[in-house]
Chains A and B, each alone.
Chain A
Amino acid sequence: MENLVQIAINNVNFGAIMPALVLSLFGMALLLINVFSPRGKTAHVAWISMVGIGVTAVVAVNAWNKPFQEITGFAGHVALDNFATFFNIIFLVAAGLTILMSDDYLKREGYPVGEYYPLILLCTAGAMLMASGINLMTIFLGLEVLSVALYVLAGFFRDQARSNEAGLKYFFLGAFSTGFLLYGIALLYGVTGTTNVAEIGGYLNANPGAYSNLMTVAGMILLSVGFLFKIAIVPFHMWAPDVYQGAPTPITAFMSAGPKAAAFAAFLRVFFLGLGGMQADWTSLLWVLAVLTMFVGNVLAIYQTNLKRMLAYSSVAHAGYALVGMVAANAVGVSGVLFYMLAYTLMNLGAFAVLVLLGKKGEDNLTLDGIAGFGYKRPYLGVALTIFLFSLMGIPPTVGFTGKFYIFAGAVKAGYVWLAILGVLNSAISLYYYLRVMVYMYFKEPTEDFSWVKVQVGAVISVLIALAGVLYLGVIPGKVMDLAKMALF
C-alpha cells in the first residue's frame, strides 16, 4: 500500500492535467465570486469565464507536440498528447461559444443565475479528463464530472416543466448508461487485471485466447453502450430529442458538441488502444449502428416542426456520420472524426446562436412557422443561419463539406464504399429538412416583424466566430486537417 502511494506521488505531474486544472480553478473561483455578487448580475461572471477559457486555451495549446515524459502523469492515468489537445480545443471552442451566447439569453428567460458558468467550466474540465484519460477509471471520472454538471444545466430552468423533464430524463438515462459503462470496466478488469487502457490492449494481444472470452466480449459491448449513449447513437438516442428541446438553448448547443466530442474521444482511445485486437468485431457492430443512426436521425428530422427538436435529430444523424470514420478505422477516417467534431461544433453552435438571438421569451416561436420571412426582416442573421444550414448539409464551400469529405474519404479508402454511399444518400435526405428551414426563412412572407430580435453582443460574437470558422475551414482546411492528422495517438 505504501508503495502504491509512493508511485502515485512520484508520478504526479500537474502538467498532464493542467488545462483541466486551470479550468476547474476558474470554475471554483467563480462559484465563490457568485456568492459575493449582487443577485441578477451575471455579466462579470460570464466575462471572467471567458478569460478562463482563454487562459486554458493558451495552456492547452502549449501541450501540443511536447515530449511524452512531460505530458503523462499520475501513474499513466492521463496523457495530454496531441489527441487530447485537439479535443481540448474543440471543448474550449464549444464552451466559449456557449458562454458568449448565454448571458442575454439567461436574462431574457428570467434566470440570471451565475452558477451557470462555473458549471459549464467544470463540465468542460470533465470532458478534458475524458479526452486525456488513459485509464478507464480516469475516463469514468471525467464522464461523471461532465455528466453531473450537464444534468444540472439541462434542468437549469427549474420552473419550466420542459427543462425539468430534460434534466430528469437525462439524469436517469445517463445514470443508467453509466452503470453499463462501469459494469463493462469491471468485466474488462476481471479479464485483464488492469484498468489501464494501454495495458488492457497489451494483455489482450499477449493472450489472444482472451478475445473469445465471453467476459471480454460482454465488457466491450457494455463499454460501447456507455459511450454510444453519450454520443446518442441509435438505439441509444431516445433521450436526445426531449433533452435537447427542453434544455436551455445554449446548453443544447453545448451538449450537441462538447460532451459528444468528449465521448467520441474516450470511445476512440479505449477502442483503438485497448480493444484494437477486437476491431473486426466492433467495426461490424458499429457499421450497422452508423447506418441506423444516419437513417433514423435524418428521417425523423423531416417530421419535426420545432427547430430545436429538428436540430436534435440532425445531431443524431451527424453522430452517425462521425461514426462512419470510426468504422473506417484507418488514419484518414479517425483523424476525419477529429476534424468533423470541430466542424460540427462550429456549424451547430453557430446555428444555435442564431436561434438564441431569434427566440422570444419561452422560445415558443422557434418553429418553422415562427421563422417565416425571417430572412427578410433580419438579413444578416438570415444569411448566417443559411450558411450554417448549408454547412450542416455538407454543401461546399463550408466546413460541413470538407469534414464529410474527410470522413467518407477514410471510409472509401478502407474499402467501405457502401457505407460511404449510404452516408452520402443520407446527406441527400437531410437536404430536405435543412432546405425547408430556408423555405420558411426566405420563400414565405413574413407574418411577424421580428422586432424582438436585438443585437446581443455575446451571441453576435459567437455567430461571427462560428461563421469565420465554417468558411475558413471550408475554403482552406488544409492546415487544420493536418493538425487532426498529427493528433492521432
Chain B
Amino acid sequence: MSQHLLSWMTFLPLLGLLVLLFIPRDNGGLLKGITLVVTIITFFVSLPLAFDDVFKTSAAMQYTEFVPWISVGSYFQMNYNIGIDGISLWLVLLTTFIMPIAVLSTWNAVDKNIKGFMALLLLLETAMLGAFIALDLFLFYIFWELMLIPMYFMIGIWGGKNRIYAAIKFFIYTAVGSLLMLVAIMYIYYAAVQSGVAMDGFSIAHFYDLNIPAHLQTWLFLAFAFSFAIKVPMFPVHTWLPDAHTEAPTAGSVILAAIMLKMGTYGYIRFAMPLFPEATQQFIPYLSLLAVIGIIYGALVAMMQDDVKKLVAYSSVSHLGFVMLGIFALNMQGLTGGMLQMVNHGISTGALFLIVGFIYERRHTRAIADFGGLAKVMPVFATIFMIITFSSIGLPGTNGFVGEFLILLGAFESELRWFAVFATTGVIFAAVYMLWMFQRVMFGELKNPANEKLKDLSLREVVIMIPLLVFVFWIGVYPNTFLEKMNPSMEQLMEQVNGKHQVASVEHVNHRQVDVK
C-alpha cells in the first residue's frame, strides 16, 4: 500500500463512486454515509504523508510512481508519473481534510438528487488530488480539466437563482485559459524534441532542465500564467469567481474556495515560474501590480456587499492577491508565507462559507440587513464565527496572521517593497469589511422577529467546525510544523527561479543542461 499510497489516495474516491452507483437513488442517508466514509478513509490514507519527516530534509519528489502510459513512438509519449514534495504536500492534505467536512455540510443542505451530488463530489476529489500529484504535464492537464465537469454540475444543478449563468461562465473562463496552456505544453515538448532532447514523456523534471530562450519564455509563460491567473483568480480575470461562489451550494463554495483556487497558485509555483524563470522575472512587476490591485479592489468591493456570501467571495480575491504577492517576492519568507497562506485561506474561507451555509439553511437569506443580534440567540455560533473572522483578518495568534506577516515581510525585503506598502492597506480593509459585517450580523439589537427563534449550532455543525478551529490555532501558534516540511522545496524553487536567472544574465553561462532552439 505504501508503495502506491498516492495512487490509492487519488483513486479511492473513484472506487467509492462505483460503489455509489449500486445504491438506490432514494436512500439519501446511505449515499451520504458512504461518501463520508470514503472521504474519511481517503483522509486516513493520506495521513502518513503528514508524519513523514523526509520532507524536512529533501526537496526531491517522494512516493513517486512511474508507469508508461501512452507511447506513440516518435510522436509523443505520456507517462503516469506522480509524486509529492513540500509544495504539494499540504495542498494534498488540505484536500483530503476538507472533503469530509464538505460532505458533512451537505447533510441538510442537499436534498434533491443526492446520488448525483455525492458522485460528483467524489469525482471532484479524485480530479483535485490527481492535479496536485501529477508530475507529467499531460496527466496534470487531464486532471485539471476533469475538475471542471463536477463543479459545473454542482453549480448548475444545486446552485442559487443565477446558477446557469454562473456555471457556464465558470466553465468557459477556466477552459479558455487551459486550452492556451495546452498549446504551450505541446510547443515546449516539440521545441525540445527538435533540439535533440530525448523526451520520454511530458515529465516536468525534463521540462525543468530545458534552457528555453528568453523570447520564447515570454510567450509560453504568458500562456501558462493566463491559465493559472484565471483559476487563482487574479484581477481582472476574477469576474467568474463572485458568480460561481455565490451561486454554488455550500459544499461547492467550500471546495472552490478551499482547494480549487489553490490550483492556480499551485500552477504558478509548480509550472509557470520554474519552467520559465527569465520570463517570470520579467513579468513579476506587472503581475505583482495585478496582485495588489486584486488585494485592494477585492477588499473595497467586499466592503460594499450586502450579501454575506458575496462578501466572502470578494474577500477571496483579496486574499489570493496576498498569496500571489508573497510568491512573487521570490524569497523564503514570501514563498513560504504564500504557501502557508494558501492553506490558511483554505481553512478560514472554507469555514466562512460553511458559516454562511449554516445561517442560510436557517433563514434562507444571506442579506446582511436581514440579520442583527444573532449573538444573543446563537452563542456557540457567535464564538466560532468570531474566531474564524479573526483568522480571516489575520489577528495574531491565528493562522492568518502568520501567513500575511510572512508574505508582507518577504515582499518588503524584495524588490516589491512599494507593492507591499499598498498591500498592507488590504489588511486594514479586511479588518473593516469583516468586522463591520460581523457587527451587523451578530451584534446590535435583535430587531427581526424571524431571528428570535434561531437554533444554535447542532452537534454535527460543531463537529464540522472543530477541526478547522484546531488548525486556525495550530498554524497560528506553531506554524513550524507546516513550514519545516515545505522549506527544502521552497529553497529549491527559489534557486530554480532566482539562481538560474542570475547565472544566465550575469555570466552568460548556460547553467541549464539542455538548450532549446
Contacts and interface: CB of A to CB of B under 8 A. Distances in A.
A421 B183 contact: yes
B114 to A, nearest CB: 13
Given A412-B190, A435-B152, A443 B163 contact: yes
Interface string B393-419: 000000000000000000000000000
Interface string B154-168: 001100000110011
A481 B72 contact: yes
B113 to A, nearest CB: 7
B183 A412 contact: yes
Nearest to A422: B183
A409 B76 contact: yes
A442 B183 contact: no
A292 B193 CA distance: 31
Interface stretch (B98-106, B169-177, B282-290): B169-177
Interface string A431-450: 11001101100110000000
Interface in A282-329: none
A439 B164 contact: yes
B75 A443 contact: no
Contacts of B190: 409, 412-413
B186 A420 contact: yes
A442 B164 CA distance: 10
Interface residues of B, number: 35
A395 interface: yes
Interface in B271-301: none
Contacts of B171: 431, 435
A183 B67 CA distance: 54
A432 B172 contact: yes
Contacts, number: 98
A92 to B, nearest CB: 23
B168 A417 contact: no
A424 interface: yes
A428 B175 CA distance: 7
Contacts of A432: 168, 172
A390 interface: yes
Contact of A424 (B69, B183, B193): B183
B180 interface: yes
Nearest to B155: A443
A485 B179 contact: no
Contacts of B142: 396-397, 401
Interface centre among B72, B76, B164, B180 (most CB of A within 10 A): B72
Contacts of B168: 432, 435-436, 439
A481 B168 CA distance: 32
Interface residues of A, number: 37
B156 A482 contact: no
B368 interface: no
B187 A431 contact: no
Contacts of B187: 412, 417
Given A390-B149, A417-B183, A485 B72 contact: yes
B183 A485 contact: no
Interface in B474-513: none
B164 A485 contact: no
Contact of B69 (A409, A439, A478, A485): A478
Contacts of B148: 395
A481 B175 contact: no
A424 B75 contact: no
A396 B183 CA distance: 15
A485 B75 contact: yes
A401 B145 contact: yes
A476 interface: yes
Contacts of A442: 153, 156-157
Interface in A188-208: none
Nearest to A482: B72
A435 B190 CA distance: 32
A232 interface: no
A331 to B, nearest CB: 7
Interface in A446-489: 476-478, 481-482, 485
Nearest to A474: B142
A408 interface: yes
B275 to A, nearest CB: 17
A412 B220 CA distance: 13
B29 interface: no
A408 B183 contact: yes
Interface of A: 331-332, 335, 376, 390, 395-397, 401-402, 405-406, 408-409, 412-413, 417, 420-421, 424-425, 427-428, 431-432, 435-436, 438-439, 442-443, 476-478, 481-482, 485
28 contacts: A376-B113, A395-B145, A396-B141, A401-B142, A408-B182, A409-B76, A413-B193, A417-B183, A417-B187, A420-B183, A421-B180, A424-B179, A424-B183, A425-B176, A427-B179, A432-B168, A435-B152, A435-B167, A435-B168, A435-B171, A435-B172, A439-B156, A476-B70, A477-B70, A481-B75, A482-B71, A482-B73, A485-B73
5 tightest Cβ-Cβ pairs between the two chains A and B? A424-B179, A478-B70, A396-B142, A412-B186, A413-B190
